[in-house]
Structure 1
Amino acid sequence: MNISRFFGSTSREAMRQVRIALGPDALIVSNRRVNGGVEILATDATSVPESAIRDVPAPAAPAPAPNQAAGMRQEMAPPPGADNVMGAIGALRGALEGRMDDLVWSHQMRRSPVAVNLFQSLLAQGFSTALLRAMLKRLPDSLSARAALQWARTELETHLPVLRSEESLWQPGLALALVGPTGVGKTTTLAKLAARAVRRFGPERVVLLTTDTYRIGAHEQLKIYGDLMRVPVHIVQDVQQLRSLVLGVRPDQLILIDNVGISQRDRYVREQAALLAGAGRRVQRLLVLNAASQGDTLDEVARSYTQDGGTPLSGCIVSKVDEAIKLGAPLDTAIRFKLPIHYVSTGQKVPEDLRFMSAAELVDSALQVRESQRPLYSPTQGDLAALLQSDGQIAQEQELEQERRARVLPRLLAAASVGAPVSVEQARRAAAVLDERLACAEAYDFWRDLHAQDTQPELGDAAQRGAALMRAARQEMTDVDVKRLLVIHADHVLAGGQEQLSLSYLFSPQGQALSVPYYQRQSPADWSDARGVRTLQRPSPAQALSQAMEVLNSQADPVSLLHIFEGGSPTMWRQWAAMPADWLALIPGATSLWHKDGQTTPNALCKQLSFHAVPDLPARLHMESLGRLRLGEIALWHAHTRVHLRQRNAAPVPFDLVLLRTVRRHDGKVLKTRFALVHMRDGVEPIAPASLACYMMLRAEAQDMARLLAPVLQVLPPAASAADEELRLLAAGQMSLAAWDLLQAPENMGVRQLAGRLLGKGALKTAQSVDALVKMLVLKEAMS
């Protein structure tokens, strides 16, 4: 019997999925409510063995009518022992449902190698099997390994509870107590919190209490911290003394309470909870979780302190992150026990080593594989493969799936293609390539979301999506040990000439298109950006670009960014040189500069400097063409020198000047000469002039991306709200980048050929790239 699992937000939605997949005669095995919706286990009636149907006993009598049943319930008393019988039936039902759940989980793991790999990698990062099992049951089918990891990352970010903002915690009159086992760092963490409170409110409004009279030197340690911050420290012996001290504190003063460390198995856990509950003032309790502890230990600690009979825990603080190899266990505990993470302690320094981190930053840290990490206590792929062997069942299921696709997909592909029909294998390979290209994979997600009928975007969704695009690009590059990303800033005038859209395109140093995490829109009426900021006052071009650089730099850590743009003025370049940012600005050849001992221009320096050929251009830029010419048809020659900007009554500002000539190979004709000022911060690893010359050429490709923006906006559904419009503009930028990547990336050769057959074209041109991208996105959706 093949059992399938269906999940929906409501019973109606789940039943609709059952009818679509298995038909109206499907047999429902179980129906239960789970986190976030309803889960139904069902099977096709034709897959049930006849012996199982014969063994089902026939009903002894027709079921009574509803009114008769109500009367029977009132008149008949339950027979002796009925409670035991019902309890046994309930236990049996629970066991059967648990067994069915195990079968469905085992079936999913056997048929999905991606789920197995994802399960193994997340298990190696310290997440529990209980959480992974609940999460991976919702893993969509037909995801690539990279897309599945991104899905898991989003799921963890969505369900990880964190403190909304620091301001929501630090309110006048706050009474906060740290609880937890011995040695987790409560006293040091409390000192860090006290330092933050003193900075916000002053030492006269902070009071420290400690109930730790057991540990030798415990209250002396806290008193030392209190003396340094000029904050009073009081020792509490019992509930009467605690209540007296708390009631003697002014209502606007903050009380921070350090508690004795207690083993989660000690009976004093309940006594401590009762002590804090009798303080005469509401005390928020934060559980300190040691990130270096085992997951089972953290689970026992959280379970003990959440069931100690005291006031409910307000959240937790994760300590000793600097000592932990993996961070999955504390995040897993916070998710399962619904404990919002307030802070993360990363060392012993007071007050520096205490961070407030967002859910995205915490999940990124948990999924980051450290060089010293060795999977000694988690199963390897070989271990999981041995556990999942099942005498040919996998091959049989794959064969059935191939037969189903062999029946349906060829007809769809034949109807869509021009000329020779496209095979299922060709479509599958093309879909896999789109999954591996980040720009195309993110464009597909936007395309699917904007055409979904059951979701309505909310204000702020675009800001979260933009931050997610930056994280995805950052993760894509850190996986291959790339420490710097390129940001190409370009302005595009929208149809009608009344609006301007400024997009920030992310690229790898080799020219791989990644994502568009940020935009600014300027209209005659107002100005807005991807974060949802909207104002009537339109910023100047220098202010707008400075803001874009600041926003993206704040999201880029641990990689650095090189901002590439065109234009500016000496005043703007001076202003940007004072910013903590690296940038490259394309400038006119007549710009006045100071070189050595005299004033000059880039045009004049062209005649004085020696040019050098850029070696191995295809290895430096993974692109098909530059400036409408094939990469093999041109050569790049570069020169560089040090120049200064001088201004009266101001110190000269140094820059690197890069000069670039694009030469046609077959006749040596100079096609274009470009100039750029480069500013790199002190201490930053320098960039080779040959690489800077390639980046200048990459900036010229922004014009082709601008031509794709209008046709992309035409194929996207119209916006129904302000939130919808924010997401639509971000999607337009991402899809225009994906359409450009479809034409330019050598890895997309097979996808281009397939798209050409679907469009009836021999070779794709720039004007057809958007239609080709849409065709491929629809094909990928059909393959799913």
Structure 2
Amino acid sequence: MNISRFVGSTTREAMRQVRLALGPDALIVSNKRVNGGVEILATDATSAAAAAAQQGGHAPAAVQQPAPRPVETRVEVMSAIGEMRGVLETRMDELMWGNQLRRVPQAAVLFQTMLGFGFSTALLRAMLKRLPEALSGKAAIQWVRNELITHLPVLESEDALWTQGRALALVGPTGVGKTTTVAKLAARCVRRNGPDGLVLITTDTYRIGAHEQLTIYGQMMRVPVHVVQDTQELQQVVQGIRPDQTLIIDNVGISQRDRYIAEQAAMLAGAGRPVSRLLVLNASSHGDTLDEVARSYVNDGGSPLAGCIITKVDEASRLGASLDTALRYQLPIHFVSTGQKVPEDLSTANPIELVDQALSHSGTASALYAPTEADFAALMSLSKPAEDKSGSAIAERRRKQLLPGLLSMVNNGDGGLSMDDLHAAAAYVDEDTATSEAYDLWRAHATVDGSLPAGTLRHLQRVAGNDVASVAGAALLAVHDQVGIALPTGQRGRLRATLLATHEGRALTTTLQQLGFPDGWSSSTGAAAQVAPTAVEALQQQISALAAQTAAVHLFDGGSQGLWRQLSASGTNWLAQVGATTRVMVDDCATTMGALAKTQDHQPLPATAVLAGLDKVAGIPADDLVVWFASATVYLHARQQPALALQSVSLRLVHRQDGTLVKTLHGLSHFKEGASPQWLATCLLIRVQAKVALRHAAQLWRLLAQNRPGRSAQDQALVAVQCGLAAWQLTQDANAQLARKVAASLVGKQAWTSSLSPPALLKLFALKEMTGP
């Protein structure tokens, strides 16, 4: 018997040599470790048979070879070794993950948060192992968002889907909406190629009325519908279809645990034309169920799944599980279904919108299936993160490289700023909502070629909604205002914007911008006109655009009685800042807001969170001011219309030290469920303060135009307004004193003034980019 010797660095490598030399039927004689690797003695089946014949002919015992171990034994041994290795690797992975949670507490917080959004532990482990250690809370969330957007697979182009002769088949469990989705897809195809270019097929002969439902859809679209029961009938139908006709197949729903899945896959594979299978995932299903569905259909023996369609998004409390499934199984999301309407409630997948929706807080979602902080504290005790020597060394080298230049930049006087102060100022950019969103837009505006992402405004609106939803009893304020701007050519125009803020007056994001110049008017909603609308019409558009998507308290300047009546009739909560000469009726007597305020008893506004969170009001330190307020019910009269009852509010800003009157403010309001005078006073105060944000936006409009003159006007307006909000927040936030000090030093000033905030903010962003992770 010929015995060959094979040596490899590992058992796997040596076995590979055996199979290459002797084939898969080789018999292993022995294996042992040698210096530098593994030695295997093996023989082929022919030599083994010859040896057996010699032994049968009574060969001397001295020349008999040891009986080789059969292949089955070798496979069992190798399998056992593989299983042991798998157990060890799993255990090591768990230990490494536990160490990551202890070393980077932010990973544990994100782990808890993302579980609450419906993402799986498997995906979170793989993703959060790469989480940079130095990120703060908001920056870590943004890192996760970018990771999800970058890696979420979606259909690149719908045009490629509807090529002539394409065959699509929808597969999935019962009740996920396959038939309705087929009708929606058919409608999209008919719009592109006409009814003659499409044929529908259904294999669902089990569910009562299933094929009748599809037949009705087909008749409405004048598209032929065929019913088949097996592979032979499917082949006959496909053979009778023109090669250029698109084919969409609706299949019977099959449980992921049903053995018929493989038969269905085989039937589609034998259709006589390549069929692209799309798995339909129900967004309202539990994550474990979606995983089981995807695993069953991926491994059903049919052609590889071409992607998936996510349905019933409107019924799902969380979208994370369906996105998680598409990510882990790499199923490109082709479409998203948000309702039963055919064909309206179907759209192509946009990764930014899907991820933002998945990371949005739902006010009605239950926390029963998401771990709370108390749960996490009970399950694991986070020790103080161990110092990462290599990471610290890298950070220290970087700090030393930046330290001389940065400190010389900011310490042009007796500033007394340290590198820790610079990092703290950069950290403020991450922690504050308005500033962190402005920083992201500023970076995109400065570095990315082309337009800003299409879903940017919707993302900013969701960010504001999430911020407010995270605080019980909080309200979202929408401030609508305008400011004059100028183009580099000298042409002057108007910039209108909607600014979102919390009920405490903390700036958040902007959701709409309108630009009006002598040569035309345009809106971020896509509307445009040669002649700009009137101020009241533009204000109506601002309010309508936000009211259609978000419940908010609308704050604006002026308006008209017609607008006030319209908003009140629609149940909109609003407050308008008005002048002292605005005429109203009180006790059937005509008067003005200014005259009414003189007759009212004013009360001091308590030191609420609004005042506590502000550094200055009307340019005066908040601690040096006392705000007095008064309120009354007033009426507006118009011919042939009933009297409109409104609530007035009057504010007097008085200097605490000498009692001098700094400013007087007046407002009219209507709240669907009423509002306390104190709340009205707070809203009016925030409305006045927010004017500063748009003044900053006008200055930033000029600064951004100098940096990137080729940008679109709408993108420039969006970045300018969001940065204006951030500049306003930097000026008014009592927690931003160190950030203001650093920012002022970056522009060569030691004392902070409001006019410094736009250029100082951009310098602070540059500092953040230099020192931040």
User: Same fold by TM-score, threshold 0.5 exceeded?
Assistant: yes
Q: Report SS of the residue matched to 2:455.
A: helix
- Kindly tell me: are residues 775 and 163 of structure 1, through their superposed partners in 2, closer, same or farther at Cα, counting changes over 3 Å? closer
8 Å CA contact 2:353–2:459 kept in 1: the answer is no
Identity %: 37
- Give the alignment of 1:91-102 within 5 angstroms: none
Q: Cα distance 1:588–1:111, how it changes in 2: closer, same or farther (>3 A)?
A: same
Q: The residue matched to 2:614 in structure 1 has which SS?
A: coil
Q: Does 1:472 align with 2:463?
A: yes
| CA drift at 1:508 | 0.9
Which structure has the larger Rg? 2
Task: Give the 3 Å change call, closer, same or farther, for CA 777–678 of structure 1 in structure 2.
Answer: same
Contact 2:352-2:455 within 8 A present in 1 as well: no
Q: CA deviation at 1:477?
A: 1.9
Could you say which residue in structure 1 is the equivalent of 2:325?
333
The 2-side partners of 1:637 and 1:166 are apart by 60
Equivalent residue in structure 2 for 1:342, among 325, 335, 340 = 335
* Deviation of the 1:639 alpha carbon: 2.7
Structure-2 residue corresponding to 1:491? 482
Cα distance change, pair 490–373 in 1 and its aligned pair in 2 (3 A): same
State the match for 1:573 in structure 2: 564
2:48 aligns with none
1:672 match: secondary structure = strand
Residue 624 of structure 1 deviates from its aligned partner by: 1.5
Asked if the contact 2:184–2:342 (Cα under 8 Å) also holds between the matched residues in 1, the reply is: yes
Query: Is the alpha carbon distance of 1:174 and 1:612 closer, same or farther for their aligned partners in structure 2, counting shifts above 3 Å?
Result: farther
Q: Does 1:298 align with 2:290?
A: yes
Contact 1:413–1:423, Cα closer than 8 Å, also in 2 = no
> Is it true that 1:148 corresponds to 2:133 in the alignment?
no
- Of 423, 426, 438, the residue aligned with 2:421 is 426
DSSP 3-state at the match of 1:763 = coil
List per-residue Cα deviations over 1:652-699 (Å, max 9, x = no partner).
44332223233333444444332222233x4xx543221221221222
Tell me the CA shift for residue 121 of structure 1: 3.6
Following superposition, the deviation at residue 512 of structure 1 comes to 0.8
Is 1:521 the counterpart of 2:515? The answer is yes
Task: Between 273-282 and 255-264, report the one with greater CA deviation.
Answer: 273-282
Question: In structure 2, which of residues 575, 585, 606 is the aligned counterpart of residue 615 of structure 1?
Answer: 606
8 A Cα contact 2:313 2:319, kept in partner: no
Q: Which amino acid aligns with 2:251?
A: N
What SS is found at the alignment partner of 1:491? strand
Query: Which residue number corresponds to residue 633 of structure 2?
Result: 642
What is the aligned counterpart of 2:280 among 279, 288, 291?
288
Residue 718 of structure 1 aligns to a residue whose secondary structure is: helix
Amino acid at match of 2:771: M
Q: Deviations over 1:520-575 (max 9, x none)?
A: 1111112123345444232222222222222233443xxx2122111222233334
Bigger shift: 277-286 or 151-160? 277-286
CA distance in 1, matches of 2:575, 2:351: 33
Partner of 1:38: none
What is residue 190 of structure 1 aligned with on the other side?
179
- Residue among 580, 597, 602 paired with 2:588: 597
Who is 2:734 aligned against?
A: 746
- 1:741 deviates by 1.7
The 8 Å contact of residues 282 and 312 in structure 2, kept in 1 or not, is answered as: yes
Pick the aligned partner of 1:457 from 438, 450, 471: 450
Indicate if the aligned counterparts of 1:618 and 1:631 stay in contact, CA closer than 8 A: no
Aligned counterpart, 1:42: none
Alignment-derived partner of residue 537 in structure 1: 531
Amino acid aligned to 2:493 = E
- Residues 659 and 676, structure 1, Cα contact 8 Å, conserved in 2: yes
Letter in 2 for 1:775: K
Residues 217-228 of structure 1: matches in 2 within 5 Å?
218-220=207-209
Where in structure 2 are the equivalents of 1:238-253 lying within 5 Å?
Answer: 238-239=230-231
1:315 aligns with 2:308: yes
Residue equivalent to 2:501:
507
Note if contact 1:162-1:340 (Cα within 8 Å) is conserved in structure 2. Answer: yes
Q: CA distance change for structure 1 residues 375 and 643 in 2, over 3 Å: closer, same or farther? A: closer
For the 8 Å contact 2:540–2:563, the answer to whether it is kept is no
2:679 is the counterpart of 1:691: yes
CA distance in 1, matches of 2:746, 2:217: 73
Deviations 1:546-605 (A, max 9, x none): 22222233443xxx2122111222233334445564322112222233444344332343
Which residue number in structure 1 is paired with residue 472 of structure 2? 481
Q: Corresponding residue for 1:410?
A: 403
Sort the Cα spacing of 1:536 and 1:279 in 2 relative to 1 into closer, same or farther, 3 A.
farther
Q: Distance in 2 between matches of 1:577 and 1:722?
A: 43
Mapped to 2, the partners of 1:783 and 1:719 lie a distance apart of: 22
Offset at residue 748 of structure 1 (A): 0.7
Residue 712 of structure 1 corresponds to 700
Q: Which of 418, 427, 442 does residue 437 from structure 2 map onto?
A: 442
The corresponding residue for 1:552 is 546
Deviation sequence 1:64-98 (CA, Å, 0-9, x none): xxxxxxxxxxxxxxxxxxxxxxxxxxx9xxx9xx9
Q: Compute the RMSD of aligned alpha carbons.
A: 5.0
| Secondary structure of 1:716's aligned partner | helix
- Name the SS for the 2:631 alignment partner: strand
Contact 2:183/2:343 (CA < 8 Å) preserved in 1?
A: no
Partner of 2:31: none
Aligned pair in 2 of structure 1 residues 570, 429: CA closer, same or farther (>3 Å)? Answer: same
Q: Which residue of structure 2 aligns with residue 6 of structure 1?
A: none
1:764 is paired with a residue of what secondary structure? Answer: coil
Specify the code of the residue in structure 2 equivalent to 1:315: C
Going from structure 1 to structure 2, the CA distance change for 1:738 and 1:195 (only over 3 Å counts) comes to closer
Matched position secondary structure for 2:647: strand
Residues 528 and 257 (structure 1), Cα distance of their counterparts in 2 relative to 1, 3 Å cut: same
Structure-1 residue corresponding to 2:764: 776
Taking a change above 3 Å as real, the CA distance of residues 263 and 764 of structure 1, as seen in their structure-2 partners, is: same
Between 374-383 and 432-441, the greater mean CA deviation after superposition: 374-383
Per-residue deviation, residues 420-442 of structure 1 (Å, max 9, x unmatched): 54222222222222321112222
> What SS does structure 2 have at the residue aligned with 1:494?
strand
Go from structure 1 to structure 2 and tell me whether the alpha carbon gap of 1:510 and 1:246 turns closer, same or farther (over 3 Å shift).
Answer: same
1:101-120 superposed Cα distances (whole Å, 9 cap, x missing partner): 989x9798786543454345
Alignment match, 1:665: 656
8 Å CA contact 1:462, 1:531 repeated in 2: no
Q: Is the 8 A contact 1:704 1:740 kept in 2?
A: yes
Shift of 1:158: 4.9
Cα distance in 2 for residues equivalent to 1:352 and 1:636: 55
Give deviations 1:384-440, integer Å, cap 9, x for gaps: 878x99xx9744235424542553343233311132542222222222223211122
User: What amino acid is the match of 2:142?
Assistant: Q
- The one-character-per-residue Cα deviations of 1:453-481 (angstroms, maximum 9, x if unpaired) are xx3022xx265322222222222222223
- How many residue pairs get aligned? The number is 668
Tell me which residue corresponds to 2:26.
Answer: none
Residue of structure 2 in register with 1:50 after alignment: none
CA distance in 2, matches of 1:148, 1:596: 58
2:119 is paired with a residue of what secondary structure?
coil
In structure 2, C-alpha distance between the alignment counterparts of 1:337 and 1:607, rounded to whole Å = 69
Q: In the TM superposition, what is the alpha-carbon distance from 1:487 to its structure 2 partner?
A: 1.7
Q: Is the 8 A contact 2:112 2:372 kept in 1?
A: no
Residues 324-361 of structure 1 show CA distances to partners (whole Å, capped at 9, x for unaligned) of: 77543321222343332534578xx9999978686555
Which amino acid letter does the alignment assign opposite residue 324 of structure 2?
D
The alpha-carbon distance between structure 1 residues 176 and 405, as it changes in their structure 2 partners (threshold 3 A), is closer
TM-score, with length taken from structure 1: 0.70
Query: 2: distance between equivalents of 1:580 and 1:736?
Result: 31
User: CA distance change for structure 1 residues 429 and 161 in 2, over 3 Å: closer, same or farther?
Assistant: same
